[in-house]
């Protein structure tokens, strides 16, 4: 049966691409070694404690219909906090269950837009950990043009619509990027118009589009200014297929588009000429980098060389942070972090030492990583760990944090840092340090205690001054990082 979203020409192109890969990619050197029992050292407990001051509590929300997966039964599925780029000081918080909230300087939330309601019964939020209203990105000129972009999940009758790019398999859900234009950018609630920018199909309810965003370091006249980055997961297909390595499908990739352009699919967006694959036959010009499993979060350092750091959630053993540049191949699903991943003959579900001829593949490896080991009785089970990408601290309020990339493990709520100076491409992995957590009264605590739940569902955010925020879906609270002791 033909794959949805493909034509006869595209199927021929895919076949041609596979043939080219078979001709030019050298075979891996066979190794007789077994899986690595404990691939990476444990994070080092730091003497530094982050002081978290409660800033806001978002309204309680629920997916519709009620989910059967208890992991989706949270106070509110808030997943980011950022600052509206209009000098108003307003912060924004998306909730996967459908609503976009704005916060004033006191942390008081106001509903700005109900994204879920805008798309009616096709809006899908009750199945899949990342499903629903996934993210929002405000155009850098929002104060003047009123434009911002959202990504949400659709299913049901929406699956009758044709995705803009090949789906790589049977489509189960769509991720849809929408451009909204506010009539009055300064208004407290949205009133205006919208248009669809991009629709991608995914093979399961996991690992679809997780984040969309603009490079905050780009200035008018820069080639990156106004270009939208899109973190598209592998749709849960990478563990058993080569989808993340297939350059004719968008899954398992970071895409970069010009939302104001017209040379992309259906004339709805543009493909920047500076993208790395725009002049290659049988390759999507939208691709910026590839070989990802679940590029859940990304951010740019506002100092130094302005690196783009991507937090990629691993499969069985390794959680990784990458310094990503145009054209990079992170290796999934031939690699998991800095190790070999084997899709066949892998009963222990582990990772392996790299083959001796690994340098011939040109993979980009992490600059920081930690591992997780499933219970011995169920070695292929989900260990319940997920790396949540964060930010390089460049704020002014906490000198002790400057130059540290702050990130974490989302489920249990551990907060880590690595020194950016040690996060070097091609070098040894930077050491992972675990912060202690201190409440506003100065007492030692933990994110589980602050969230009131062992499953924290940790996320991070930042304002335009570079100060950090910590979020928990468990109780819908946001804390500001106010000190480091």
CA distance 180 to 118: 11
Side-chain-facing half-sphere of 276: CA atoms under 13 Å = 14
pLDDT of residue 316: 81
- Ramachandran angles phi, psi of 65, nearest 5°: -70, 170
349 neighbors 341 (Cβ within 8 angstroms):
no
Distance of CA 248 to the CA centre of its chain: 21
112 neighbors 189 (Cβ within 8 angstroms):
yes
CA distance 95 to 114: 10
pLDDT of residue 346: 58
463: CB partners within 8 A, 6+ apart: 82, 83, 91, 469
Q: Can you say whether the dihedral through the CA atoms of 319, 137, 84, 466 is positive or negative?
A: positive
pLDDT of residue 260: 98
Question: What is each CA distance from 92 to 103, 302, 415, 481, in whole angstroms?
Answer: 6, 20, 22, 17
* All structural domains of the chain: 46-484 (2.120.10.30)
CA distance 385 to 375: 12
* SS3 assignment, position 468: strand
pLDDT of residue 470: 98
CA distance 312 to 315: 10
481 neighbors 474 (Cβ within 8 angstroms):
no
190 neighbors 115 (Cβ within 8 angstroms):
no
117 neighbors 191 (Cβ within 8 angstroms):
no
pLDDT of residue 27: 41
CA distance 26 to 224: 34
| Per-block mean pLDDT, blocks of 10 residues, the chain (485 long) | 41 41 40 80 97 98 97 98 98 98 98 98 97 98 98 98 94 98 98 98 97 98 98 95 96 98 97 97 97 98 96 94 98 97 76 96 98 77 86 98 98 98 97 97 97 98 98 98 97
178 neighbors 187 (Cβ within 8 angstroms):
no
């Amino acid at each position: 049966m033909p794959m949805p979203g493909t034509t006869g020409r595209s199927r021929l192109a895919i076949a041609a691409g596979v043939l080219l890969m078979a001709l030019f990619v050298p075979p891996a050197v066979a190794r007789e070694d077994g899986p690595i029992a404990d691939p990476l050292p444990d994070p080092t407990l730091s003497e530094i404690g982050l002081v978290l001051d409660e800033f806001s509590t978002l309204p309680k929300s629920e997916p519709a219909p009620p989910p059967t997966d208890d992991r989706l039964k949270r106070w509110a599925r808030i997943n980011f906090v950022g600052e509206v780029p209009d000098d108003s000081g307003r912060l924004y918080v998306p909730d996967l269950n459908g609503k976009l909230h704005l916060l004033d300087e006191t942390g008081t939330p106001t509903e700005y837009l109900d994204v879920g309601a805008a798309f009616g019964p096709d809006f899908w939020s009750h199945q899949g950990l990342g499903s629903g209203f996934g993210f929002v990105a405000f155009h850098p000129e929002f104060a003047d043009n009123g434009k911002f972009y959202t990504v949400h999940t659709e299913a049901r009758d929406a699956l009758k619509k044709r995705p803009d790019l090949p789906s790589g398999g049977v489509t189960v859900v769509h991720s849809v990027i929408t451009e909204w234009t506010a009539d009055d950018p300064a208004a407290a609630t949205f009133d205006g118009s919208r248009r669809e920018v991009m629709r991608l199909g995914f093979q399961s309810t996991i690992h679809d589009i997780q984040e969309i965003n603009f490079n905050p370091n780009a200035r008018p006249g820069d080639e990156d200014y106004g270009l939208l980055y899109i973190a598209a997961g592998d749709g849960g297909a990478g563990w058993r297929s080569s989808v993340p390595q297939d350059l004719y499908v968008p899954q398992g990739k970071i895409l970069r588009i010009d939302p104001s352009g017209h040379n992309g699919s259906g004339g709805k967006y543009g493909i920047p000429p500076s993208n790395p694959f725009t002049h290659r036959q049988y390759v999507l010009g939208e691709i910026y980098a590839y070989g990802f499993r679940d590029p859940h979060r990304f951010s740019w350092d506002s100092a130094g060389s302005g690196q783009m750091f991507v937090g990629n959630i691993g499969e069985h053993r390794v959680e990784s942070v990458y310094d990503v540049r145009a054209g990079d191949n992170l290796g999934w699903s031939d690699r998991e972090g800095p190790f070999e991943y084997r899709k066949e003959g892998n009963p222990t579900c582990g990772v392996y030492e790299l083959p001796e001829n690994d340098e011939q593949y040109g993979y980009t490896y992490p600059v920081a990583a930690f591992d997780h080991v499933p219970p011995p009785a169920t070695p292929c089970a989900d260990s319940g760990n997920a790396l949540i990408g964060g930010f390089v601290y460049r704020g002014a309020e906490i000198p002790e944090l400057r130059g540290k990339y702050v990130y974490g493990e989302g489920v249990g709520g551990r907060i880590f840092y690595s020194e950016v100076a040690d996060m070097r491409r091609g070098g040894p992995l930077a050491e992972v340090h675990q912060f202690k957590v201190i409440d506003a009264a100065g007492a030692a605590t933990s994110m589980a205690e602050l969230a009131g739940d062992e499953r924290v569902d940790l996320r991070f955010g930042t304002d335009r001054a570079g100060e950090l925020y910590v979020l928990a879906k468990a109780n819908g609270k946001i804390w500001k990082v106010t000190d480091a002791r």
